[in-house]
Amino acid sequence: MVRYVRLATHGYAVAAEDKVNSALASALKLENDFTNTIASLAPARETGERLLPNGIYVLVAAMAGSIVTRNRNIVLRATVPAIVGFAAAKAVLPVTMRNVGDLAWSYEQRFPALADTHARVHDRVGRFVETGVAHSKMSVIMLEDKVAGVRETVEGWVRKGK
């Protein structure tokens, strides 16, 4: 009888130890995955991108967006600092932002509707920017033509002595 109780107790103790070990292994794996994910966001040393000063610049830019929209409506106060911070991050931390974008895209791909919406919005914004660039180039060309016409007119007046 004592033997069976001792063997049963030992079996329960081994099972409890296995459960604790598997829980700790799972927690350590989760911690290791998280640490590796965060480390993968950092830029490579060869890029020359420095996180500390550039990250501070991004924070200052976001705070400046908050200051600029201080007395505006709630929508501007919520969106402008984020947009300004995002733009500053894209400008001063391009490699890190690309790494973050790639990570976000890998998570978005788990939800096809979200990934599809993101891809459509990305395409629309890209077309909008391309259109803006094309229009600005066309405006520059038109302005140069007008300036050349005015210059020719003034030079004609000067030749005629007016």
State how far the Cα of 147 lies from the Cα of 149, in Å rounded to an integer.
5
State how far the Cα of 107 lies from the Cα of 51, in Å rounded to an integer.
24
State how far the Cα of 32 lies from the Cα of 100, in Å rounded to an integer.
18
Residue 128: the pLDDT is: 96
State how far the Cα of 35 lies from the Cα of 33, in Å rounded to an integer.
5
Chunk the chain into consecutive blocks of 10 residues (it has 162) and report each block's average pLDDT, rounded to whole numbers: 91 95 97 94 90 94 94 93 95 95 93 94 95 96 95 90 70
What the block records as the tokens of 86 is 């995002």
State how far the Cα of 149 lies from the Cα of 143, in Å rounded to an integer.
10
Residue 55: the pLDDT is: 94
User: 76-103 burial, b for 16+ CB within 10 Å, e for fewer?
Assistant: eeeebbeebbeebbeebbeebbebeeee
What the block records as the tokens of 88 is 């500053």
Residue 160: the pLDDT is: 86
Compute the chain's Rg from CA coordinates: 31
Instruction: Characterise 48 by phi-psi region: left (phi > 0), alpha (psi -120 to 50), beta (else).
Output: left
- pTM given for the model: 0.67
Residue 66: the pLDDT is: 94
Residue 162: the pLDDT is: 62
